[in-house]
Amino acid sequence: MIVYLQSSLTFPNVKVKDFYSVSTVTPPLVTLDERPGAPLLLPDGQPRLVQNTYQVEVYTKPVSIDGTVYGKMDAARKLMAETAAFLNDKYGLTQSGDAIFNTYANDPNVGRGVARFRGVIDTKTEIIYRSV
């Protein structure tokens, strides 16, 4: 998922990484954290369908895109919108609630956005199904 997201985003110079691999935030950055969820179907006592949550965080500084200057928060919203559209279109992940945007606590020059997405995974085929 990280590789496809990295190759698909059009936001300038963005990096996409696993949440736990990031020790220093260097914007623009998207992190993805897959959080295993509860099993939904247990044939023979083994989980077959599992609903997972994915937390996406974006970090941005002010940026100029095609001649338009975006402040740190508008840039974060733009990057999150592009990321959310990709995750929904490509993987069928459903955003859970609204994204939250604020200034990154460790650097007042960085905008940060956080959103969660859900998807149901077939553990046998590794197919992700749209969650409703």
How confident is the model at residue 49, as a pLDDT? Answer: 87
- The tokens describing 68, both together, are 């338009």
Given CA atoms 77, 78, 80, 81 in this order, what sign does their dihedral have? positive
Phi-psi group of 97: left, alpha or beta (phi > 0 → left; psi -120 to 50 → alpha; rest → beta): left
pLDDT (tens digit per residue) in 45-60:
778 888 899 999 999 9
Percent of the chain with pLDDT over 90: 75
Distance CA 43, CA 115 (A): 32
pLDDT (tens digit per residue) in 1-35:
899 999 999 999 999 999 999 999 999 999 999 99
How confident is the model at residue 132, as a pLDDT? Answer: 64
Task: Tell me which H or E stretch contains 122.
Answer: strand 111-122
CA count, 13 A, side-chain hemisphere, 63: 22
Domain annotation for the chain: domains and CATH numbers: 2-130 (3.30.70)
* pTM (2 d.p.): 0.88
